[in-house]
Structure 1
Amino acid sequence: MRADARAKRAQIIAAAMEQYRTRPASAVTMEGIASDAGVGIATVYRHFPSRAKLREACAIGFIDLFDEFLASTIAAFDAAPEEQWEQFVWRLVDYGVGMLVAELAAEIPAATDVEAAAARERFFAQVSELLEKAAAHGLVDPDLTPAELAAELIVVTRPMDAQFTELFPDVRGRLVRHLLAAWRCAPAV
């Protein structure tokens, strides 16, 4: 792929990730993504012939963003478990874990794209390792799976319409704090 084509593809993914992160799914359109990316709609479809392919690319982009952060969280975890766990959860929330709905839900068949499937497996393996560490410190139930963690965060953090956000501007933060409290249990012995 030519350098200019790679750059346009990256612009499209960045615009789509931002839309999936900040807007209800019903408000995300290929036309809106094209506009935000500064490209024509035909360029979007040339790179991503379907919404599913674009969402898959966004999921890979999200995972790539988190690889280094997740590794450093795991490495530093035992020195400050509660702080590291909460930073990890809030970073997931801030970056828009909701964009991973189609890619992370356990019930959805594995991605057809080999790269997406490998990224998903790598991400889940690292999150599993982090969950084991968190469970050892009583921060989560030992039976909490990466898919359940993602699903619960997705439900409480998905973007809301503007009117609801205006009425309840702090609801997302309150719900995440409720989740953090609900996940706690006695440390494993």
Structure 2
Amino acid sequence: MRADARERRHRIIVAACDLLRNRHEASLTLEEVAGAAGVGIATLYRNFADRRELLHACAAHLFDQVIALQDETLREFPGAPADTWGRYVRGLVGLGLGAVVPLLAPARLADLPADLQSRREAVEQRGHEIVTAAQDAGLVHPTVMPSTFIIGLITVSRPQVSAVAELAPDLTEALVQLYLSGLRHGPGTPGDPE
């Protein structure tokens, strides 16, 4: 693929991911993606036969971004655990995991295509290393599983309905702060005042 064609394809993927972070996938048209990418609809269809193929490319792009963030986090963690952990969590939120993952995830993980499955496994392995390092640094309670961490982060960082966002524009950041605090202390027992 020529460099300019590769760049156009990348622009389409980035535009689709940006749009998915801010609205429900079902309401997103391929024409809107083409417009946001600055290409014609014919160019989009030359690169992606249909919506499913474009969403597959978006999932691969998101996995690649998470892997890059995780690699950076693993390199920097020993020197500044608390700061690096905070950057990692906010980086995941900034990638729009709360909005994009529910739209791109299949009903069953076993249904992921092979290329996405290998990326998911790489993300999971690195994520486990990062959570373990955070536990060793006292930033995450020892009982918190890596899968619980990521599922919880996706949940608290989901986009709010517009009326809630209007009432509390910084709600996502506040929820992420509360979540990070809760991760330090771990799950309480029912009726525990803490």
In structure 2, the residue matched to 1:29 is 29
Change (3 A) 1:76 1:69: same
Q: Give the Å deviation of 1:143.
A: 4.6
Are 1:105 and 1:147, in contact at CA under 8 Å, matched by a contact in 2? no
Aligned to 1:118: 118
- Could you tell me the TM-score, scaled by structure 2's length? 0.80
One-letter amino acid of the counterpart of residue 20, structure 1 = L
8 Å CA contact retained: 2:25, 2:103: no
Displacement of 1:77 after TM fit?
Answer: 1.4
Structure 1 counterpart of 2:7: 7
Aligned to 2:189: none
How many residues of Structure 1 are paired with residues of Structure 2 in the alignment? 185
SS in 2 for 1:141: coil
**2: distance between equivalents of 1:8 and 1:67?**
23
Name the structure 2 match of 1:16.
16
Equivalent residues in 2 for 1:124-135, closer than 5 Å? 124-135=124-135
Which 5+ residue runs of structure 1 have no aligned equivalent? none
Q: CA 1:26/1:104 → structure 2, altered by over 3 Å: closer, same or farther?
A: closer
2:92 corresponds to which residue? 92
Q: Which has the higher contact order (CA 8 A, sep 6+)?
A: 1
Distance of 1:110 and 1:142 partners within structure 2: 31
> Who is 1:151 aligned against?
151
Conservation of the 8 A alpha-carbon contact between 2:106 and 2:112: no
Structure 2 vs 1, CA of residues 149 and 56 (structure 1 numbering), >3 Å: closer, same or farther?
A: farther
Work out the percentage of aligned pairs sharing the same amino acid: 35
Counterpart of 1:171, as a letter, is L
Whole-angstrom CA distance in 2 between matches of 1:88 and 1:160? 22
Cα distance in 2 for partners of 1:30, 1:159 equals 22
Cα-Cα RMSD: 2.6
In structure 2, what is the Cα distance between the partners aligned to 1:162 and 1:2?
42
Distance 2:146 2:108 in 1: 13
What amino acid maps onto 1:44 in structure 2?
L
